[in-house]
Amino acid sequence: MANDKDLAVSAPKKIKLSASSKTFYVICYVCVGLMALICLIPFILLISGSFTSEQWIRFHGYGLIPGEFSVEAYNIIFKTPQRIVRAYGVSIMITVIGTICGLFLTTLTAYVIARKDFKYRNWFSFFFYFTTLFNGGMVSTYIYYIQYLHLKDSYLALILPSMFNVFYLLIMRTFVAAIPDALIESAKLDGAGEWRIFFTIILPLLKSGLATIGLFLALGYWNDWYNAMLYMNTETKYPLQYMLYSIQQQTQALASIASQAGISVQNLPSSSLKLAMAVVATGPIVILYPFVQKYFVAGITIGSVKG
Amino acid sequence: MQGFRNFADEFKRHKALFAMIAPAFILVLILQYLPMTGMVLAFKNYRYDQGVFGSAWNGIANFRYLFASGTGWLITRNTILYNLLNLITSQLLAVFIAIFITEINNMIFKKISQTVILLPYFISWVVVGVFVYSIFNYETGLINGLITKAGGDPVNFYGMPGAWPVIICLFNSWKWTGYNSVIYIAAIMGVDSAIHEAAAIDGANMFQRIRHITLPSIRPTLVTMILLQVGRILRGDFEMFYQIVGNNGQLYNATDVIDTYVFRSLLTNPDIGVTAAATFYQSVLCFAIIMIVNAIVKRIDADYALF
């Protein structure tokens, strides 16, 4: 019915239609622009607040532009940077180790389950995929990790749980599947062993796959605070995000205790300090992000196609 | 016997492939499968000194306690309602944004807005928690600053349970719209541009093209995304809820989901059995739901089934 109507559009109606398309274009730009602005506002608030003087925040609240410019919060952070440098060190260590190990595991596994001549590939695929459908839950996992694997307060608790992810495995399998079987066959005829085929033929062809999954893994490790919260006791072993979280909690607690006790907390720029800490912890990601965005977009796109 | 012979043959033939898949196999076995045995805790009266398997059985007492206290129903209701709300809002928003972005012709605007909209995906929930606090807190929050400036009385959001479904939903969409829209944009771009051109030549206007070409092109993706989310309907996004709401007793009725309840109980409640019962119930029901939904979808249209 709708189509019959369209065929009968007369000339003046056409002009009207193009006007409505024009309106639609405007709506597109406005909506997308608005959404982008909404995505950006918290970041602006964060940066602005971190550069605002404590006095101003206390009387006027956080704003989108610093009411009274001040670098006091950053002075405090960089005057005693040991804590944050230490947390950066922990985060960098677990990110590097975790990403390299995770990449190695993911690539090897993806290669094997992509090999069509491997009889048990479906069995293994199911073995891995099943964990996305069913898992032991937080309690049994937590008790098992602590009581039987003794992961409490060990860096392994920050590295192992996120090292292997089925979602990344499926993405990597797509990358591996793009490599023609003939390549492997001819290498075999030339007498190359499986490991040699993997390292000298497969790996060099997986550069973009490695970059994509490597970045996903690295982002996961960098942003992880959950495992730290569950398993880490020693403050010097906290990764960056968890240290940020514990500082947020402490200053909040400190401010409320001080105000309850009638003590002036004027000297502690806790409001701007909190935001400045968040800026220092998030800065590297936001700066790196535009350069690596395309890999994430590729990964998300491939991941959305069911394997 | 035959099966074992087959396996032995395959093992001999592909020793290297088995060696390659072994690390991931062992890791997943130890970190994912073995903790599943800990699920028996749900039927036990756990004592640390007796371990998971040494503790005494107590039938379904844990489940009875969980639901008799009303907590079980409350957290189940909250988890399902939040997931439904977040599913609808974030997917709908992502579909709209994806359609709008693909219709935009200005490449610079398109690129920048796409980059900005995906940015929240890269931010850890800890930092999102800082955002929420700096926008909504009573003393220095952005909104209360604006309200007082306009002459109104500040609002104590952290004591207002009704506000949190909205806030949580907002930030969930804020974090995931970019990610989801990447998936939909890929689906829309997957359509051969010749189809759009042909439609335009046949006199189809923009709305007709969107209605009859773009929307059908994202339908399979939309169904997959909904299925994936429905399979997680009983899993609360712990990181989001924990960072946005925190340990705020006033808001438990409105914001406690299974995962936050389990986490809190794990650290504060010595009665591990009841907590284990909650995760057991969650895992088993989740598994049942995804199997049933997938079976139904498979019957209606096998192409849309997840597995």
Residues of chain A numbered 65-124 and touching chain B (CB < 8 Å): 104-106, 108-109, 111-113, 115, 117-120, 124
- Cross-chain Cβ contact A285/B122 below 8 Å: yes
Would you state the torsion angle of the CA atoms of residues B220, B222, B225, B230, taken in this order, to the nearest 10 degrees? -110
DSSP character string of B244-284: HH-S-GGGHHHH--HHHHHHHHHHH-S-HHHHHHHHHHHHH
Which among A156, A161, A165 is positioned nearest to A212, based on CA atoms? A165
pTM for the complete prediction?
0.91
Residue of A nearest to B176 (CA): A39
DSSP character string of B84-135: HHHHHHHHHHHHHHHHHHHH---HHHHHHHHHHHHGGGGS-HHHHHHHHHHH
Q: A5, A21, A140: best mutation site toward chain B, by most B Cβ within 10 Å?
A: A140
- Cross-chain Cβ contact B35/A141 below 8 Å: yes
Q: Name the residue type at position B80.
A: I
pLDDT tens sequence across A93-146: 999 999 999 999 999 999 999 999 999 999 999 999 999 999 998 999 999 999
Residues of chain B numbered 62-81 and touching chain A (CB < 8 Å): none
Angle between helices B125-136 and B238-245 (to 10 degrees): 30
Angstroms from A138 CA to nearest CA on chain B:
7
Confidence bin at B222 (pLDDT 50/70/90): very high
pLDDT value at position A167? 93
- For chain A, list residues with pLDDT below 70: 1-17, 251-268, 306-307
pLDDT tens sequence across B242-298: 999 988 888 989 999 999 999 999 888 888 899 999 999 999 999 999 999 999 999
Cα angle B240-B163-A243, degrees, rounded to a multiple of 5: 35
Residues of chain B numbered 276-305 and touching chain A (CB < 8 Å): 276, 278-280, 282-283, 286-287, 290-291
Across the interface, which of B113, B139, B183 has its CB nearest the CB of A300? B183
Angstroms from A50 CA to nearest CA on chain B:
11
